[in-house]
Amino acid sequence: MLTIGYEDALYGPVDAADAQDWKDYFGLEFPVLIDDGSLYTDYLMSDSGRPLYVLIDRDMIVRFRGLVYVGHNGANANIPGLL
């Protein structure tokens, strides 16, 4: 699992300090990456909903995309089938 930061609270670019703050605040044990090249926008859904959950299989094929609570629940439901 990982998290990608693509903009800060003021819609500006993120940096390593922002990523570390996010990781510390939520007590995350997995990587927090920085999208400083705006690659994330290629994966936004039509309504630009956030957070966006994406599951990628071992062959790097996107197997699930979903938004907010529905995305969270859908991701959790699909994870066992990808393990």
The pLDDT tens digits of the residues spanning 23-75 come to 888 888 888 888 776 666 565 555 555 667 888 888 888 888 887 777 778 88
Structural domain boundaries of the chain? Answer: 1-38, 44-83
SS3 track for the chain: CCEEECCCCCCCCCCHHHHHHHHHHHCCCCCEEECCCCHHHHHCCCCCCCCEEEEECCCCCEEEEEEHHHHHHHHHHHHHHHC
- For tokens 């922002």, the residue is 18
Tokens of 4: 């990608």
pTM: 0.51
